[in-house]
Amino acid sequence: MTKMTPGNGASFLLLFFPMLYSLTNSAPTNQVATYWTRGEMGYLYIDKLVNQSEALAECLRIYKGRLLTILNVAQDDAISDMIVDLGISHDIITSGKINYVSHPFPEWEWSTTATLFPYRNWSPSSPDFENHCCFKGVQASNFYRWRSLDCDTVGVFICEM
C-alpha cells in the first residue's frame, strides 16, 4: 500500500496499476480514502460517517464518481472482501432506496442508475418498508447481507469511479 501525496506520481500509479492505495490528497482534511480496483471498476472507500444524501453528493461533487451500486454476486463478494481487508466496522451506504413514484408499487432501485435491483442479498429481517435506504452490512455473522435502514442513518460509503 502506498500513501498518496501531491507530486509523488500518485495519479499515474492509480491509472496504470490496479492495486490498493491509500489516498490522502484527494480526501477532505482528517479523512482517509482507500482506492482499489476489481476488473474494470474502481472503488473509493471513504471513512467518514454521513447519511445517504450526503454520500450521494460527495461521490458526485468531490470524487466525480457515483455511490455504490451492487449489481451481482461477484461485486457483492468483492465488497465483502474489502470489508474484511480494511476492517470496516460501520455499515456501508449504497445508492439503493425505495422508489414510490415510478412504479405501480414500491420497488427497490439504485438511485444512481434509476434501475431496479437485478440482484438482492437481504438480511432475514430486511427489507422492510418503513426504512427506505439500502446499506451493505459489515457483520460476518450475517454474511455481509444488506439491511434496510432509515435514510438519515449514518454510515461510511464507497464511490464507484
pTM (two decimals): 0.78
Domain of residue 72 covers 3-160
Helices (H), ranges, 29-158? 52-61, 73-86
**7-16, 34-43, 57-66, 124-133: least confident range:** 7-16
Task: Say whether pLDDT at 40 is over 50.
Answer: yes
| Phi and psi angles of residue 74, each rounded to the nearest 5 degrees, phi first | -65, -45
Q: How many domains does the chain have?
A: 1
Q: Tens digit of pLDDT for each residue in 54-75? A: 999 999 999 999 999 999 999 9
Q: How many angstroms separate the CA atoms of 34 and 13, rounded? A: 14
CATH code of the domain containing 72: 3.10.100.10
Q: Are strands 33-38 and 41-50 parallel, antiparallel or unpaired?
A: antiparallel
| Phi and psi angles of residue 52, each rounded to the nearest 5 degrees, phi first | -65, -45
Cβ(26)–Cβ(59) below 8 Å: no
pLDDT of residue 31: 64
Q: Are strands 3-4 and 21-23 parallel, antiparallel or unpaired?
A: parallel
Confidence class for position 30, pLDDT limits 50, 70, 90: low
Q: How many angstroms separate the CA atoms of 30 and 12, rounded? A: 24
Mean pLDDT to the nearest integer, 102-121: 89
Q: Tens digit of pLDDT for each residue in 3-27? A: 333 333 333 233 333 334 344 344 4
